[in-house]
Structure 1
Amino acid sequence: MLFDTHVHLNARQFTEDREEVIKRAFDTGVNYMVVVGFDRETIPLAIEIAEQNETIYAAVGWHPVDAIDMTDEELTWIEELSSHPKVVAIGEMGLDYHWDKSPKDIQKEVFRKQIRLAKKVKMPIIIHNREATGDIIEILQEEDAKQVGGIMHCYNDSARYVQTCLDMNFYISLGGPVTFKNAPLPKEVAVQVPLDRLLVETDAPFLAPHPNRGKRNEPAYVKLVAEKIAELREMPFDEISKITTENAFSLFNIKK
């Protein structure tokens, strides 16, 4: 049994065959998923998919790339949706300095607002971080995000930041890059993260793991991520699967 803690089944890449993709995941042993909504288009569909599938859940938040488009109305909308029985987290949120659509100061403001909202509704947060580690950590500490904790989604940073994240009550989630031959950082992290803080994800349709790199990712492929982590840690695959799934249940407060 596996839990894909971050998937975008609401992405346009799955419009034509979403049900088949979900069935392949279930057939592969990926029994649980969180579909992440991050704007006006993807949030309603994330909830709709969760409503239609007993073991699929949703997260609602606003992506930093589009921070410039977020208004107080959207923040209120996300707060209202947070009470939906299938919504288990706020996010993804954070900072993305790779793209320049939204100025850094606006990204930071929107990030802070969402952390405060998560604390208000008492839900964990899902962090998107691209080329912004220092500012991410500073804001999380200043906003006392430790109160709710959450996930460092698709962690691809130095292992030296792992303990800081753990101290702030965050789990470390690894995806496809841990299988890439030219990606040493996630491999180093995979063997250092305490087992009780480790999660797996796909971020599908993005970042497909080896040997499917460059193709459309899908939740069934989270098995490849878990298998690689098991190999790196010299542990049975079934044990990694069980531990990461139990961790997800705990974080998202899901009752089996």
Structure 2
Amino acid sequence: MVVEIFRLRQQGHNAFVFQGVAVHCIKGYDPAYIKREALCRCLPRTVFQALIEEPLGCVEYDDGLVLVEREGRLIDKTINDHLHALGQLLSILHTAPVAELDIEGFKNDLLSTSRYCPRRIWDALCAPLISNLRGLKVSERLFESLNFAESVREDPICLVHGGLHDRNMLLFDGRLRLIDWSSARIDHPFVDLSQFIISSALSPSQAHTFLSAYIPSTPLTELIAFIRLNIVWNILYMPFHPTYLQSQRIWLQEDPEFNQALCTAGLLS
């Protein structure tokens, strides 16, 4: 008999897995559960079932709940079928109707008039720290080196998962489902695509495989600015994370121009 026990996040959440069943003991407010329940209310039933594995049962108590689910299996990013499945799943997610989600906690204050705005995101997340470390001019030059297309502000926004990496999705009987919806929000679809590439340290060939199953067709070149922004954020906030360091090596080798911009800004040696 094998029982696996996990401690999740820092709020005292715990989980254990036994004979194909995962039991989550959630104490206090849990944004992942709250948002999943909101998606259940707002999304068409077929869309919700395609994205999320429904629990076997749930019992609420005074300051938390116990959630019982089937045990899933992690994906393997070296298996093309798994990358294809994620590309197809994100196509469903990014075309889901979002009209009711703004009132359900998915609003994104970093959007500008309901459009993606690189400048606003940079000023909120990156510029303050870079300006303090290296000065305002360095921050401005580095932002320009991201090289976002002007047209990005006209792109449609959608529901995104917001926390995609290869441990935030599970296979259930061969069907891929997304888990941990705590960062879900309204945003640009390329946020999810670029985040998965960087957070899972995909190689360029794996990224092409992943994107080949995504609809509408999205060449890797269209994601470069978003990938660059991901790299900067990771350097600033998670500089010693082994997966992100691996990803930086992979993608900065492919992008020597941006590697030089980071070195000039003093963020890399």
Using the size of structure 2 for normalisation, the TM-score is 0.29
TM superposition score normalised by structure 1: 0.30
